[in-house]
């Protein structure tokens, strides 16, 4: 029975349960003396402590406690270093043990250098004081390293043989600033005489970066016709490239380059018209997916011999209903399916496609958000699992049909009902006892079920369901406490 008066009651229940996962779920709301008892449950056996240190869902507070209480166990430390949930505080503690009880080897420091929660001051210390190249490379790839740390790192390796490798990682790091990218680009220019290919790959990495300054794009496009193919391929995708530079690349022999150009939304209609008739289907597929297709281009592509081109066209929301109607009679089922998935597909067309001989096409109709109640009622009589899964997922499906589908033997169909945002409480209630644990787990966070409905899940036979249920109630108390 659901009868909780306080967060203490919930923690007491978890303590009584004696399960390490229930204990982990409520740890963050436990008071000091309760925490000690919970730690006894979670960490007394090495096997359990190892399991929690490794598990990707272990709450940060528990991992932090492990980093303090069990940091002399190398097995635990290794798992904490690897666990992406380990919080910044724990990472600092573990790094601070460098010269303490746990004698680290380089591979442990690499894990800290690449961890997404490593604090900036720790990364800075690593860059300043650690000599190992693999550790420094790990920092260069870490997206939490800021521009200052990355700058320090580049200075540190400035005269070393690994500069290029580190610079390439920095150029791919989202934190790299425009200044750093400019410096790397300049280096690539100077190094070109020594190793042309390495210089090109560095410049490509810089040009690909979101923070790449406009002047570097201008500089690169100045010699675009003579540039290495990798640089041309990158530049041609950039919407900042001048029309003149784009036009100079349209006749390239390289189909990857032409595909990039066809996908560039800044490319003018004149160039797209040229690419429409490209010999490579890859290029024509990219054209067919463009949102700014003209009527004449659509008319040309509708009869393309490559079915992928027609499929991209059928998915394109820019095409008219009349074009969709024509494509709905395509001999290739994937094209008809694409029509059924198009948001502009009419009810009349959906009704036709609902009778398609191919189950994948009918399934696309069942998933279509424009499908009417009547159409879904008809599709609910289908025998195919994918079609019925679509009906179960669709928010327009009547509740009485959803109620029928929850007794399906196919887990995919029942899961469709759980995922249906319009499924009502009375529909979902019996799924709380579904044989597939994942379904019960998904229902813990349902917004239509009451807390009293979810409460029995705290005693579920599956540890993941128990953990999620306890965590759900713990969060409720946390929010409640914050509000008062």
Partner 1 sequence: MKILVAVKQVAALDEDFEIRADGKDVEEDFLLYDLNEWDDFSLEEAMKIKESSDAEVEVIVVSVGPDRVDESLRKCLAKGADRAIRVWDEAIQGSDAIAIGQILAAVAKKEAPDMVFAGVQSSDQSYASTGIATAAYLNWPHAAVVADLQYQPGANKAIIRRELEGGMLQEVEINCPAVLTIQLGINKPRYASLRGIKQAAAKPIEEVSLADIGLSAGNVGADSSMSRVRRMYIPAKGRAQMIEGTLAEQAAKIIQIINEFKGA
Contact residues toward partner 1 (CB under 8 A) are 45-47, 50-51, 54, 75, 78-79, 82, 133, 161-162, 164-165, 191, 194-195, 198, 411, 433, 435-437, 460-461
The pair of three-digit structure tokens given for residue 299, joined into one six-digit string: 């008319």
| Residues contacting 119, CB < 8 A, separation 6+ | 88, 91, 92
Minimum separation from the CB atom of position 434 to partner 1 (A): 8
Minimum separation from the CB atom of position 400 to partner 1 (A): 24
Residue 390, SS3 per DSSP: helix
Which residue in 445, 449, 443, 468 sits closest to 458, CA to CA? 468
Nearer to partner 1, 155 or 430 (CB): 430
Opening angle at CA 446, ends 445 and 451, nearest 5: 80
Structural contact between residues 11 and 29, judged by C-beta atoms closer than 8 angstroms: yes
Nearer to partner 1, 300 or 463 (CB): 463
Q: Find the radius of gyration of the CA atoms of the chain.
A: 29
Nearer to partner 1, 376 or 428 (CB): 428
Nearer to partner 1, 78 or 378 (CB): 78
Tokens 């597909």 correspond to 345
Nearer to partner 1, 137 or 285 (CB): 137
Minimum separation from the CB atom of position 432 to partner 1 (A): 9
| Residues contacting 154, CB < 8 A, separation 6+ | 163, 166, 167, 170, 180, 183, 184
Minimum separation from the CB atom of position 35 to partner 1 (A): 24
The pair of three-digit structure tokens given for residue 41, joined into one six-digit string: 């449950």
Nearer to partner 1, 192 or 294 (CB): 192
- What are the φ and ψ backbone dihedral angles of 261, each rounded to 5 degrees? -65, -45
Report the C-alpha gap between 350 and 340 in whole angstroms: 6
Minimum separation from the CB atom of position 82 to partner 1 (A): 8
Which residue in 84, 98, 95 sits closest to 120, CA to CA? 95
Nearer to partner 1, 221 or 460 (CB): 460
Minimum separation from the CB atom of position 197 to partner 1 (A): 8
Nearer to partner 1, 196 or 419 (CB): 196
Q: What is the DSSP string of 237-261?
A: T-TTS-HHHHHHHTT-S-HHHHHHH
Report the C-alpha gap between 420 and 398 in whole angstroms: 11
Minimum separation from the CB atom of position 9 to partner 1 (A): 24
Distance separating the N- and C-terminal Cα atoms of the chain? 26
Minimum separation from the CB atom of position 437 to partner 1 (A): 7
Nearer to partner 1, 430 or 481 (CB): 430
Structural contact between residues 395 and 422, judged by C-beta atoms closer than 8 angstroms: yes
CA dihedral defined by 254, 258, 263, 268, rounded to 10 degrees? 160
The distance from CA 369 to its chain's CA centroid, rounded to whole angstroms, is 24
Report the C-alpha gap between 68 and 269 in whole angstroms: 63
Minimum separation from the CB atom of position 48 to partner 1 (A): 9
Minimum separation from the CB atom of position 155 to partner 1 (A): 18
Nearer to partner 1, 49 or 126 (CB): 49
Residue 354, SS3 per DSSP: coil
Which residue in 336, 439, 433 sits closest to 392, CA to CA? 439
Minimum separation from the CB atom of position 371 to partner 1 (A): 29
CA distances (Å), origin 383, targets 370, 372, 405, 410, 434: 22, 19, 12, 11, 22
Report the C-alpha gap between 418 and 49 in whole angstroms: 34
Nearer to partner 1, 372 or 430 (CB): 430
Nearer to partner 1, 330 or 386 (CB): 386
Minimum separation from the CB atom of position 101 to partner 1 (A): 18
């Amino acid at each position: 029975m659901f009868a909780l008066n306080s967060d203490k009651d919930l923690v007491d229940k978890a303590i009584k349960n004696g399960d390490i996962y229930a204990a982990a779920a409520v740890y963050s709301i436990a008071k000091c003396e309760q925490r000690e008892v919970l730690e006894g449950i979670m960490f007394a056996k090495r096997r359990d402590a190892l399991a929690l240190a490794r598990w990707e869902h272990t709450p940060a507070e528990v991992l932090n406690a492990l980093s303090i209480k069990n940091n002399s166990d190398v097995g635990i430390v290794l798992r904490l270093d690897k666990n992406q949930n380990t919080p910044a505080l724990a990472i600092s503690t573990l790094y601070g043990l460098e010269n303490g009880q746990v004698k680290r080897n380089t591979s442990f420091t690499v894990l800290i250098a690449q961890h997404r929660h490593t604090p900036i001051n720790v990364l800075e210390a690593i860059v300043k004081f650690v000599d190992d190249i693999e550790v420094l490379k790990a920092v260069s790839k870490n997206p939490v390293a800021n521009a200052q740390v990355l700058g320090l790192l580049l200075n540190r390796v400035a005269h070393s043989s690994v500069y290029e490798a580190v610079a390439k990682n920095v150029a791919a790091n989202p934190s790299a600033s425009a200044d750093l990218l400019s410096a790397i680009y300049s280096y690539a220019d100077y190094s070109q005489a020594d190793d042309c290919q390495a210089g090109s790959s560095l410049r490509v990495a810089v040009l690909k970066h979101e923070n790449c300054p406009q002047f570097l794009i201008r500089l690169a496009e100045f010699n675009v016709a003579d540039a290495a193919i990798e640089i041309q391929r990158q530049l041609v995708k950039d919407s900042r490239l001048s029309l003149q530079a784009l036009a100079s690349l349209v006749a390239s022999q390289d189909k990857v380059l032409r595909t990039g150009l066809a996908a560039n939304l800044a490319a003018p209609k004149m160039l797209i018209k040229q690419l429409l008739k490209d010999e490579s289907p890859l290029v024509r597929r990219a054209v067919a997916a463009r949102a700014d297709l003209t009527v004449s281009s659509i008319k040309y592509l509708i009869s393309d011999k490559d079915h992928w081109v027609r499929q991209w066209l059928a998915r394109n929301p820019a095409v008219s209903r009349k074009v969709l109607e024509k494509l709905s009679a395509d001999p290739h089922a994937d094209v008809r399916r694409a029509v059924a998935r198009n948001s502009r597909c009419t009810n009349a067309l959906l009704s036709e496609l609902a009778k398609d001989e191919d189950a994948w096409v009918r399934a696309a109709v069942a998933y279509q958000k424009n499908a009417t109640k009547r159409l879904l009622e008809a599709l609910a009589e289908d025998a195919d699992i994918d079609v019925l899964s679509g009906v179960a997922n669709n928010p327009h499906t009547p509740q009485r049909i959803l109620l029928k589908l929850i007794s399906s033997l196919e887990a995919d169909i029942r899961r469709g009902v759980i995922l249906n945002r319009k499924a009502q409480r009375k529909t979902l209630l019996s799924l709380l006892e579904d044989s597939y644990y994942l379904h019960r787990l998904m229902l813990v966070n349902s917004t239509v079920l009451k807390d009293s409905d979810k409460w029995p899940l705290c005693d579920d036979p599956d540890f993941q369901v128990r953990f999620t249920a306890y965590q759900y109630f713990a969060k409720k108390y946390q929010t409640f406490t914050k509000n008062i």
